[in-house]
A and B are shown apart, each in its own frame.
Chain A
Amino acid sequence: MTTTTRTRPVHLNLFKIRLPIGGIMSIIHRVTGVFMFLAIPFLIYCLDTSLISEQGYRDAIGMLHSPLGIILLFGLMWSLMHHLLAGIRYLLIDVDLGVEKEAARQSALLVTIAGPILGLLLTWGLL
């Protein structure tokens, strides 16, 4: 092993790395994925409760309209939109669309900005 390979950073400290926009979009893709994974049991609980009885249906709607419910819905919609758009971007890159540096940067910026905006619109539209 040479000196150069040994001095390469092995433990990548996320707080010391200044990520380009593609990297920021990518880490949000990952964080939103983990967030939605953690939300799975709550979503199934809501589905289960809402389907099982009329009272459960009203309870689920009540939970959705509580302050915490609205915040979680917004987080979920932002996550879904970011994850979906970033995913479509990855699929397009898989088929060699938007691979060039400038195009990739612009699409990453677009995804990152569109996520919370669409998330807000969806939350407003769904409530």
Chain B
Amino acid sequence: MSRKASGLKAWVLQRATAIYIGLFALYLLLVMLIAPPADYVAWRDWFATPLMGIATLVFVVSVLLHAWVGIRDVVIDYIWHTPARVTVLSLVALGLVACGLWASQSLILVRLV
């Protein structure tokens, strides 16, 4: 992200991801409240459908991007010591990437069963 546009890009990214996260979270909650999958097979099959698989992957990526922008703001506000700030941000980025790959792995594996 270029320095000049990073503020505006982050602002737009935070709102775009927020809208998708909000809608998908509401969908997940409504399904789990109204018609939750009855057993393991129903639960697995739900995530194994192509549309749900892709929608969930997009959700995961949206959450990670949204978390990155948010946590970056918090870290920049509270950690002023540059080496500490860079270290924490690097660990956050690494953690988010690892979480994204972990979730992707689960969602891809479930389609292979």
B-binding residues in A (CB < 8 A): 30, 33-34, 36-37, 40-41, 44, 47-48, 50-54, 57-58, 80, 84, 87-88, 91, 94, 122, 125-126
The B interface, classified by DSSP as helix, strand, loop or mixed, is helix
Tally of A-B Cβ pairs under 8 angstroms = 65
A44 contact from B25, B103, B109, Cβ within 8 A: B103
Most chain B C-beta atoms within 10 Å of own C-beta, residue among A51, A53, A57: A51
Q: Are B103 and A47 in contact (CB under 8 A)?
A: yes
**Using Cβ atoms and an 8 Å threshold, which residues of chain A touch B102?**
41, 44, 48
Contact B22 A88, beta carbon cutoff 8 Å: yes
Instruction: Answer yes or no: B33 CB below 8 A from chain A CBs.
Output: yes
A contact patch SS: helix
List 10 tightest A-B contacts by C-beta distance, closest first: A57-B40, A48-B106, A54-B40, A51-B110, A37-B67, A44-B103, A33-B70, A125-B33, A40-B99, A87-B18
- The CA of A30 and the CA of B72, in the complex, are separated in Å by 12
The answer to whether B71 and A126 have CB atoms under 8 Å apart is no
CB atoms of A91 and B15 under 8 A apart: yes
| Bound-state Cα–Cα, A64 to B110, Å | 21
Query: A44 near B106 (CB under 8 angstroms)?
Result: yes
What are 15 A-B residue pairs whose CB atoms fall within 8 Å in the complex?
A30-B74, A33-B70, A37-B70, A37-B71, A40-B64, A40-B99, A41-B102, A51-B44, A51-B109, A57-B39, A57-B43, A58-B40, A125-B33, A126-B29, A126-B32
